[in-house]
Every structure is written in C-alpha cells, then in structure tokens.
Chain A
C-alpha cells in the first residue's frame, strides 16, 4: 500500500528531468523561433505593409490568431473551474495540463497583439493614455488578469507537489533549489491544507467570470463595430462556446502526447479520453446551436449587407475555408464521436488535430471576410487591397507564436509534473480504503 502511494510520486516525477531528446527538441524550437523573429524584424523595419493587410482588410492573420489564442486559453477555466467545482473527480489528472495550455496561450496572446501594432514601441501609451471606453483597454485588462489567475491556479496546487518533488529529485541541482524556494516551506500541516483549499476555491470561482470576460471582450472587438458580419448580439456566447471546442481539442492533443511520451497510461486512461470525447460533443452541440443562430437569422432576412456577406462565405471565394471549418470543426466530430471506437486515444488525436485547424480557420473566417465587403464599394485602389492574401512574413510571425506556446508548454511540463501528484495519491488512498472495507 505504502509502496503504491510512493509509486505514484515516482511515476509522475519520472519525466521531470532534462534528457537529450528534449534538449534537441527545445533547440529546434529555438532555431525556428529565431527564423520567425527575423521575419518580425523585417516587419519592424519596413512597416506593417510587409503583411498582406491593407486599408480595407486591415486585420488579418494576426488578429485571427489572437482570437484563436484567447479561445484556446479558455479551456483552463472549463476543466478546472466548471468541472472541478461541480465535483467531477475524473478530471483531476487533466487539470494541470489544461492550466499549462491556458497559461501558455493567454501569455502569448498578448505578444500576438503586439505583432499587429503599427507602433509596437508605443505600447506603454495603453497605460499612460488608456481610454476606458475602448474594448481594447478592457481586453488588455482582462487578459493580464487571466494570465495572473491562470498562473496562480497552476502554482497553488503545485505547492504540495513541489514539497514531494524536493525529496524525490536529487538532480539537477537548480531544479531542487527552485522546488525549495517555490514550495514556500510546505510542511503539509492542517492549517496549510486549509489555506490551499480555501484559496483554490476563491480562484476557481474568480476565474469563471474572468475567463468568460476575456473571450466576450475579444468578441466585442468585433461586435462593438457597426460592420456586417460582426454586428451581432450573440457574439459573446458564440465565441465562448467556440473557444471550448478549440480548447478541448488542444487538451486532447496534449493528453495524447504526454500520455505517450511520459508513459502516463496508468493516470491518463482511455476513460479520460472517452469522457473528454463526450465533453467535446456537448460543447460542439452548444457551438452548433450558436452557429445556427448566427447564420440562419440573418440568412432568413437577407438584408443588403448580410446577403453579400453570407453569399461570400457560403458560396463565394471564402466558401472553401468556411465549410472546412464548419464540417471539420463541428459537424463531423459530433457525428464520429457518437461511435465508441472513435473515442479511443488515437482516433481522437486525429479528430482533435482536425478540430484544431478548423478552429483556427473559423477565427480567420470571422475576422477577414467582413472587411472584404464594407458598406461602400472598394474602388480606385490596387488589386491587393480588394482581397486579403497573407504573406510569407505574416505566416512566419504567426508561426512564431505557436512555437512560443510549444516552448512554454515543453518547459513547464519538464520542470513540473504534468499530473497533480498529491491529488493522485489522495485518489490512491481512497481506492485502497475502498478495497479494505
């Protein structure tokens, strides 16, 4: 019994070390990041014009990507807070993965928005001259807050683990030292446990409105304008429900890789995949519901601008991307996941990757086509003003943000156990007790 209790800690701390393959992986990521940063240096020197955006479609890939990142970061709130607070026990081994993903995406989202600025050096003006009426100011406020809360939500349940890890790990030295500092003299006393539980509960409640706010405010960047395709009252919930779909796809991909690479089959089981699949179907159905509202209602009336917009995305030059996003992002997953065989890890990985891409493209479809047909005709301008085409530099800078997310996830998952150790130990104890009685 004692054996298996310790075994949990040993299992979960096994991946916490720096081996060669991970150093190589980080090396590749770093080189790729620098290549992409070179692209950014060109943009800094020449101006935003090196991207494909122009006066009519002035928000392109960067903003689509920003929306996607904010969306993906929402998953931390769903898994830890919503499911945790209503007492779903099976979710416990996945909470830290969800928090790491949330933190990585939310933190990098802030950088993505800077890459879209014509004058990045004037970022401090947001704090010096910030206008309280601008949704951008709300977004900055709420994304910063969300990053802070996500970091705390990652850190607090980590404290007992750090104390455990301090005893198990003996190298590398810096890590042991780091654990020593970060574990803030955790001795596992009753009073300390009480603090952890109370603080966690506060944070879990707090993160729900904050997370809803970050994506709702992000949707308001669009919905607060009078533009066709953005001028929608359901943009908030539409974005939030879509965010859950994207976020769950991210978590499934991460689950698969951590399970496989860190040999965590005992802790992330097929049951977890099965449950995540059901959760995915649930949120996809909600998202489908909002999609029907978003397209059927204007499609029924076909007001002048709406008619042009819908024609463009349904059968126009953006139709390919739109239907890809809708089919692979919502409809096909819902149908396939009805079958038990599809709820196994590998098929789910494939589906999750498809959803991941489809979700990204969906953000693009929300951001770009609206700007391609403003109220007044686009005339007397060069051809590249009419239709938006991303440039290589733009793609490279967007890739940089993904590389950064991967780096953050890699480093965090190497420094700390990706599954909460003490929670697993607690579960084992409970199971043992159950067996005894």
Chain B
C-alpha cells in the first residue's frame, strides 16, 4: 500500500517535471539505483547543519535562494527551493548524486566540495524537512578489511608505458591488490587534468598504462603524472606524483619577442626607427642651417658697420 502511494507520488512528480523542463531536458534526472541508496557516513548533528548552512550560502544560494523563502533564481529548469516538497521526496543518496555530478545549469561539486562537505550540505537541507528521519549511517565500507594500499610507479620513456603496482603491507609482507581502481592525472597550473576513466589492477596488482599521446610537457617534455587510488574501490586514496618525460616538448617563446608596432619602444620595427630618426634629423639639420644663416646676416651687417666706421 505504502509503495503504491509513493509510486503515485513519483508519477505525479515526474509529470510535474515534464511541465517544467523544456525540450532540452526531456529526460528526467534519474539517479542510478545503487547511488540512490547511498547514505551518509555520519549522523547529522547541529554541527553538521551549521557547517552545511555556511557551505550553502557560498555555493548554492545564488541559484537556490534562501530555503523556505522560495526566492530561487528564475532559470530553466527551475532550481526550486531546497525546503520544498520536491527536495523532501529525494533520498539522501539521490541528493548526494545530484550535488556531486550536477547537470545542465546545476554545476558539479565533485571537485569543489569534499564528500563530508556534501553530506553537511544535505544535513542542512534536511533540517528544513519536517518529519525527516535519517537512515542508519553506513560506516565507511572498507572492503579490504580496513587495509590501505600503497602504490609504486615505474615508467619506460621509450614505450611510453607506465607501470603501477598496488599492494598492501602486513607484517613486512607485500601482497598485491587485485581489482583496485587507479585514476590518472597530469598536474597543470590550476588543477589536475584527468586522463580518463579509472583503470583496475590485474591479478598481480599491476596496471600497465600506456601514457596517452599529445599531452603537453615542459621544454624537455617533462610533466608531473599523478596516480591516485579511487577511494570508492575500497583501498583508501593513496596518491603518488612522479616527474616523467612523456609529454610533448613545448618551446616557450615570449609573446613580446618580435619587433612590432605594439611592442616597447626598444622593439619597434626597424624601418620605423630609421625613417623617424632620419626624417627628424634631416629637418633639424635644415633648421640649424637656417639659424646659422641668420647669424651670418648679423656678421655681414657688422662687417658693413665696421667698414663704415673705418672710412672716415
């Protein structure tokens, strides 16, 4: 019976969405079922609500407005008030998924907010939903019996092959980790460039990763490669960075190197310097010549005067 009600609610909700969304978003925002079931790793508290409130102002308010006031931005699709029924209907996992990945006008916060931050946010939003009861928090699921794995990276500059081995250490014994997910990044000035989907280790706990072509390195092709364990695969989030000469060498030529009209005085086009200087010099010489001629008039006049005064 209960299921039926919630189903009708869902249908109602979907039809409502259909009215609101424009053709662009003909499809509804469906969260994969396994993600929707996800629950927070901690019990929501006064502290988490407060922290969430702070994060909300910084990251969400500009579109979603102040909860309960309905002063969200007029966008298409509408961001809606987080205190609204529509939000209440979502499971914690759905909310977490939407915040994490974003869609369309809703930015993804994967890179901006930590998982805990996102859960704090949800705890804040839930504080507006009367009658909400938090599902049992799932304590951090460490499938590898709580063991955190380590990593080593090797590379071969000729074959451009990067070899990662993932292992755990117990009583000074290394044992390879099978099926651990590793993400690859290249360090860039403002953030890390993802090289694609996570790669799984084989039976020996090893990944042979062909480094992709066409990634810019420095003048000698050096770049910083980062390998990181995907936390959700359950072996922690160990991270290794290594300088590898696998990038495309790029030569930096100063933008101000060429002579140009827009460059500094010293870097003016040669023809301009020459023609300007020669013209100015020519005119100046002519003017100096005229001045000297005026002086000559004076001397000639003096000579006449002298001749006159000599005569008598």
Contact = CB atoms under 8 A, between A and B. Distances in A.
A196 B298 CA distance: 12
B296 A148 contact: no
A189 B304 contact: yes
A141 B272 CA distance: 14
A184 B294 contact: yes
Interface stretch (A126-134, A345-353, A358-366, A412-420): A126-134
B104 to A, nearest CB: 26
A23 interface: no
A130 B298 contact: no
B268 A132 contact: yes
A70 interface: no
Interface stretch (B202-210, B248-256, B281-289): B281-289
Nearest to B282: A206
B32 to A, nearest CB: 43
Looking at chain A's contact residues, is the secondary structure mostly helix, strand, loop, or mixed?
helix
Interface in A113-156: 129-133, 138, 141, 145, 148-149, 152, 156
A426 B263 CA distance: 56
B29 interface: no
A195 B296 contact: yes
B302 interface: yes
Given A141-B280, A185-B302, A133 B296 contact: no
Contacts of A206: 283, 286
B159 to A, nearest CB: 52
A206 B284 CA distance: 11
Contacts of A129: 265
B262 A133 contact: yes
A185 B296 contact: no
A199 B295 CA distance: 12
B268 A196 contact: no
Contacts of B295: 184
A189 B265 CA distance: 50
B276 interface: yes
A192 B301 contact: yes
A186 B304 CA distance: 10
Nearest to A198: B293
B293 A195 contact: yes
A186 B302 CA distance: 9
B305 interface: yes
B161 to A, nearest CB: 51
A192 B264 CA distance: 48
Contacts of A210: 283
A203 interface: yes
B268 to A, nearest CB: 5
Contact of A145 (B264, B283, B300): B283
A36 B219 CA distance: 62
Contacts of A24: none
Contacts of B294: 156, 159, 184, 199
B261 interface: yes
B152 to A, nearest CB: 55
B5 to A, nearest CB: 51
Interface string A158-180: 01000000000000000000000
B287 A152 contact: yes
B30 interface: no
Closest 7 A-B residue pairs measured CB to CB? A185-B301, A184-B298, A187-B304, A199-B293, A187-B301, A133-B261, A131-B265
Given A133-B272, A187-B304, A195-B297, 15 more contacts: A132-B268, A132-B273, A133-B263, A133-B268, A145-B287, A156-B290, A159-B297, A186-B297, A189-B300, A192-B301, A195-B296, A196-B297, A199-B294, A202-B289, A202-B290
Interface of B: 261-265, 268-269, 272-273, 276, 280, 283, 286-287, 289-290, 293-298, 300-302, 304-305
8 contacts: A131-B265, A132-B272, A133-B265, A145-B283, A184-B295, A185-B304, A187-B304, A202-B286
